[in-house]
Structure 1
Amino acid sequence: MRLAYITAATTAVAALVFLVPLGWGLRNDHRDAAIAAAKERASAVAGAITAGADAKGVAAARRLAGGDTVIHTPGIAPAAGGRAGAAQIDAATQASGPIEATVDGGMVVLRYSPAGGKHSVVEAFIPAAELNKDTARDWWLLLGLAVFLVGGSVVVVDRLARGAVSSARNLVDAALAVGSGDLDVRITPSGPRELAEAGYAFNRMADRLVTSRTDERELVADLSHRLRTPLTALRLDAEALDPDDTQVGDFSAAELDRRRGIRRIRTAITTLEDEVNHLINTTRQAVAAQVAAPEDGLCDASEVVRERMMFWSALAGDQDREYRVVGAHLRIPVPVARAELAAALDAVLGNVFRYTPQGTAFEVGLSRRDGWVALRVDDAGPGIADPEQALRRGQSNQGSTGLGLDIARRVAQATGGSVSLDRAAMGGASVVMLLADADATPKTPSRFGLVGRGRLAAAKDPGRRRWQRGRE
């Protein structure tokens, strides 16, 4: 509203600056036209007198000229019907051309005409109404034009300002909503170019905030899930210890202390697992739908497999698990950070140790073909009843957090690959991480060729689900 007032005042001043001089100029044009017509009448009658016309000729000239004309004789009293005074008539005899004089009721034009020793002064009268003819109309038209310009400018500016003010108000409301914690709010950029660009920038900022918060919570969840690997080893080692029952039997003081220590260890491990699970579940519930990409980097997949198998081999020996590593003797670079690939492999192997009975064999295979690298983990356990549900983030049929396979999938998808679940040749589950080969351009992936499974395995189990190609 304030902008409309300012616009109205500015337009009114501009209209006055231009229209007042225009109206004054139109008034002067009307007066000049009336005076010019009077001069023509006076000149016509004076010309007839100079030409020696008789009284009838002069009267005819006066009729042709039209208007109110009177002939005065200088030195004698002004003629009847005239409006000019004696002084004005005498002044006309001294002029070389027609003169103008103001009289009551208007103006007169006086023209001196000497003819054969006879001197005459022709008077042409211009009424005030004729001098101001159409002046009032012009002023009313200009006033109406000024009102139209002021009103039109106010309407146009109000329309334009309404859109700008509305866009600015929406931007302010959205910023306040984001400041209050509502990161889902977005605006439709509109209004002037600057406000539209500010709207686009605000939406990008809100998206970045959501992504940053998602990255932070995903990192907390993933780091918490990495604790599951050493906790699994500790729990399995604790389960392998002697019983901690102190109620049945007679025990010495040393034996009681030893059993109580074992109980405290198992209780501490259980409590720690519960806390880690609670942290993972809490973070997962608050995280947004987007998932953050792992950090950029490059590592040797074979080296990562060998290093992590050195850790898991000790636990496999304690549980009498037979295992085999295939294809990890050559350097195979992949565009994944070393820590991320190790975390993904630990997540998959941790599921094998956690959800298969002790003594269940497993195999880790690594192969490359057509620009792709396949990291495969097979086991001889009971398998996975619903692979699609298992690949969903936070879904598990075993009562866990369900983030293990999701960590592996995110690492694979960061390189343009994917993760698939299938029935292994050993009879259990087969988890295949498909990663881009850093030394080659990936082509259309073929899972069976990458992991070394031919048509014979497929023929033995025709009901197996085929491998999912491309990105999930």
Structure 2
Amino acid sequence: MRLAYTTAATTAVAALVFLVPLGWGLRSDHREQALSDAARQTATVAGALVAGAGDKGVAAAAATAGNPVVHTPGLAPGDGGRASAAEIDRAASRTGASIVDVPGGVLRLQPVTAGTKAWVVEAFVPDAELGANTARDWWLLLGLAVVLVGGSVIVVDRLARGAVDSANNLVEAALAVGDGDLGVRIHPSGPRELAEAGYAFNRMADRLITSRTDERELVADLSHRLRTPLTALRLDAEALDPDDTQIIDLTADEVDRRRGIRRIRKAIATLEDEVNSLINTTRQAVAAQVAAAPEEGICDASEVVRERMRFWSALAGDQNRQYRVVGAHLRIPVPVPRAELAAALDAVLGNVFRYTPQGTAFEVALSRRDGWVALRVDDAGPGIPDPEKALRRGQSQQGSTGLGLDIARRMTQSSGGSVSLDRATLGGASVVMLIADAEAAPKTPNRFGLVGRGGRGRRWQRPS
């Protein structure tokens, strides 16, 4: 709502800055038009006077032109005129027409000389003609301003609604994780930045679960390692003398010694029970967590590519980039988490959009062979001058952090694959992410047999 108010205020100011000068310009145009009509009237009568027309001819010309009034300087003003004798004399002394303000409008006084004779032709322009259609223009401009402000508020509200919903979902999920619910996930949506934040949140939640699982495994392992010294202590305690204190002829010192042996045996038994309980609890928690998400580490690479391309296609359309997707129509399972594969693909595509000019074409291709899956991203940009340096963590030739390709490299290495850079057939960079096939035993990877170059004959898909 605050964004809508801000947008309305900004649009209103912009509309005022643009429409107010336009309104004054239209008002000036109407005034100039009215004065031009008065000039034509006086010119018609002036032409008759210069031509030597008699009184009838001048009267006919005046009737045709709209009845302007003819004055003779030095004499009383003509009938029907509004100009005073002094104004007529001043106008006659000038070489050009004069504009005089009078109550109800303005006068245009045109001096005319023919031989030794001089006249002043007066044309009256009322205020109604000077401001004709001005009120209509202002109302039209006001309506246009209202439409602009209202339209901008509606458009911004529709655009911002998705961003606000995405931000609210992210906040709610973060609060849920803060309350201990590590199973909550969100569907990344909205603007690119919020979508990336959503994927980062899901990866963070996955890492938290992994870390908690590792901690529980560590506790279970450490607890299991305690069994060895506990067993030794229990055997040593059993080798001690009996702890029976019911024998009548025992001395007081012997009774105390046997009571100490009994306490040692009880303490060892209690400690052993606690260790066993700790082991069982942690193992059960880990087993339950694994059973709840048995397919967490496997995803469909084709589905991920299709989903991410629906996101990137909008930006490709905005930047007039042609693109095509090859080989993402069949199910291709890979042994990596869905969020990590999406993050790696987003990192590589983000580099394409960030470091190539707008309008640069690109291609995303999937292929599988010999137990490997190749996810290739080609572009028609300037390419990468030093591929080896670009693959090093924290190294970049574009002034960034250099971690984009490292994200892809770590994702592929988790399945035993790798990332390679080459020159694309489009002319730019070609990034190939090699991932193990979840349904086949990987063989020795062959980059050129996996990158799917056979899709060259397919037509480009123009972004919609």
Write out aligned runs for 1:37-186 (5 A).
37-64=37-64, 66-186=65-185
Seen in structure 2, the aligned counterparts of structure 1 residues 187 and 443 have a Cα distance that, compared at 3 Å, is closer
**Shift in Å at residue 258 of structure 1?**
12
User: Retained in 1: the 8 A contact 2:106–2:124?
Assistant: yes
**Shift in Å at residue 78 of structure 1?**
0.9
User: Which residue is 1:35 aligned to?
Assistant: 35
User: Retained in 2: the 8 A contact 1:99–1:111?
Assistant: yes
Seen in structure 2, the aligned counterparts of structure 1 residues 59 and 221 have a Cα distance that, compared at 3 Å, is same
User: Which residue is 1:427 aligned to?
Assistant: none
Counterpart Cα distance in 2 of 1:132 and 1:110:
20
3-state SS, counterpart of residue 68 of structure 2? strand
User: Retained in 1: the 8 A contact 2:243–2:261?
Assistant: no
User: Which residue is 1:281 aligned to?
Assistant: 280
**Shift in Å at residue 16 of structure 1?**
1.6
User: Retained in 1: the 8 A contact 2:186–2:202?
Assistant: yes
User: Residues 333-356 of structure 1, C-alpha deviation per residue, up to 9 Å, x if partnerless?
Assistant: xxxxxxxxxxxxxxxxxxxxxxxx
User: Retained in 2: the 8 A contact 1:171–1:199?
Assistant: yes
Counterpart Cα distance in 2 of 1:271 and 1:97:
121
Counterpart Cα distance in 2 of 1:257 and 1:104:
129
**Shift in Å at residue 153 of structure 1?**
2.0
**Shift in Å at residue 111 of structure 1?**
1.2
Seen in structure 2, the aligned counterparts of structure 1 residues 415 and 268 have a Cα distance that, compared at 3 Å, is farther
Seen in structure 2, the aligned counterparts of structure 1 residues 442 and 175 have a Cα distance that, compared at 3 Å, is closer
CA RMSD of the aligned region, Å? 4.0
- Please tell me the residue identity of whatever aligns with 1:186: R
User: Residues 298-338 of structure 1, C-alpha deviation per residue, up to 9 Å, x if partnerless?
Assistant: xxxxxxxxxxxxxxxxxxxxxxxxxxxxxxxxxxxxxxxxx
**Shift in Å at residue 77 of structure 1?**
0.9
Counterpart Cα distance in 1 of 2:415 and 2:51:
114
Counterpart Cα distance in 1 of 2:32 and 2:7:
37
Counterpart Cα distance in 1 of 2:259 and 2:125:
132
User: Which residue is 1:16 aligned to?
Assistant: 16
- Please tell me the residue identity of whatever aligns with 1:84: A
User: Which residue is 1:201 aligned to?
Assistant: 200
Once structures 1 and 2 are overlaid, which stretch shifts more, 256-265 or 53-62? Answer: 256-265
Counterpart Cα distance in 1 of 2:105 and 2:442:
103
Q: Percent identity?
A: 71
Counterpart Cα distance in 1 of 2:133 and 2:140:
11
Seen in structure 2, the aligned counterparts of structure 1 residues 60 and 221 have a Cα distance that, compared at 3 Å, is same
**Shift in Å at residue 143 of structure 1?**
0.8
Counterpart Cα distance in 1 of 2:259 and 2:101:
132
Counterpart Cα distance in 2 of 1:231 and 1:154:
73
So what's the TM-score if we normalise by structure 2?
0.55
**Shift in Å at residue 89 of structure 1?**
1.0
User: Retained in 2: the 8 A contact 1:69–1:125?
Assistant: yes
User: Residues 238-259 of structure 1, C-alpha deviation per residue, up to 9 Å, x if partnerless?
Assistant: 99x8997989x9x999xx9999
Aligned residues: 296
User: Residues 137-166 of structure 1, C-alpha deviation per residue, up to 9 Å, x if partnerless?
Assistant: 100011111111222222223333333333
- Please tell me the residue identity of whatever aligns with 2:176: A
User: Residues 175-220 of structure 1, C-alpha deviation per residue, up to 9 Å, x if partnerless?
Assistant: 2222222212222223333322222222222221111111000111
Counterpart Cα distance in 1 of 2:415 and 2:148:
64
User: Retained in 2: the 8 A contact 1:244–1:260?
Assistant: no
User: Retained in 1: the 8 A contact 2:223–2:279?
Assistant: yes
User: Retained in 1: the 8 A contact 2:7–2:153?
Assistant: yes
Counterpart Cα distance in 1 of 2:99 and 2:250:
145
Seen in structure 2, the aligned counterparts of structure 1 residues 87 and 233 have a Cα distance that, compared at 3 Å, is same
Seen in structure 2, the aligned counterparts of structure 1 residues 117 and 415 have a Cα distance that, compared at 3 Å, is closer
User: Retained in 2: the 8 A contact 1:224–1:280?
Assistant: yes
- Please tell me the residue identity of whatever aligns with 2:133: D
User: Retained in 2: the 8 A contact 1:211–1:290?
Assistant: no
Write out aligned runs for 1:61-460 (5 A).
61-64=61-64, 66-228=65-227, 271-287=270-286, 289-290=289-290
**Shift in Å at residue 234 of structure 1?**
7.9
So what's the TM-score if we normalise by structure 1?
0.54
3-state SS, counterpart of residue 70 of structure 2? strand
- Please tell me the residue identity of whatever aligns with 2:69: V
Bigger radius of gyration among the two: 1
3-state SS, counterpart of residue 194 of structure 2? helix
**Shift in Å at residue 67 of structure 1?**
2.1
**Shift in Å at residue 415 of structure 1?**
11
Seen in structure 2, the aligned counterparts of structure 1 residues 41 and 180 have a Cα distance that, compared at 3 Å, is same
Counterpart Cα distance in 2 of 1:97 and 1:289:
98
User: Retained in 2: the 8 A contact 1:67–1:125?
Assistant: no
3-state SS, counterpart of residue 184 of structure 1? coil
Counterpart Cα distance in 2 of 1:39 and 1:126:
10
Counterpart Cα distance in 1 of 2:117 and 2:274:
134
**Shift in Å at residue 10 of structure 1?**
2.4
Q: Structure 2: where are the runs of 5+ without partners?
A: 292-413, 417-440, 445-464
Seen in structure 2, the aligned counterparts of structure 1 residues 183 and 442 have a Cα distance that, compared at 3 Å, is closer
Seen in structure 2, the aligned counterparts of structure 1 residues 261 and 22 have a Cα distance that, compared at 3 Å, is closer
- Please tell me the residue identity of whatever aligns with 1:69: P
Counterpart Cα distance in 2 of 1:184 and 1:442:
32
User: Residues 362-402 of structure 1, C-alpha deviation per residue, up to 9 Å, x if partnerless?
Assistant: xxxxxxxxxxxxxxxxxxxxxxxxxxxxxxxxxxxxxxxxx
**Shift in Å at residue 85 of structure 1?**
1.4
**Shift in Å at residue 81 of structure 1?**
0.9
User: Which residue is 1:7 aligned to?
Assistant: 7
Once structures 1 and 2 are overlaid, which stretch shifts more, 175-184 or 23-32? Answer: 175-184
Counterpart Cα distance in 2 of 1:238 and 1:442:
55
Seen in structure 2, the aligned counterparts of structure 1 residues 252 and 103 have a Cα distance that, compared at 3 Å, is closer
Counterpart Cα distance in 2 of 1:90 and 1:205:
92
- Please tell me the residue identity of whatever aligns with 1:31: R
Seen in structure 2, the aligned counterparts of structure 1 residues 244 and 125 have a Cα distance that, compared at 3 Å, is same
User: Retained in 2: the 8 A contact 1:107–1:126?
Assistant: yes
- Please tell me the residue identity of whatever aligns with 2:113: P
3-state SS, counterpart of residue 173 of structure 1? helix
Counterpart Cα distance in 2 of 1:242 and 1:90:
143
- Please tell me the residue identity of whatever aligns with 1:78: P
3-state SS, counterpart of residue 155 of structure 2? helix
- Please tell me the residue identity of whatever aligns with 1:210: I
1:26 is aligned to 2:11: no
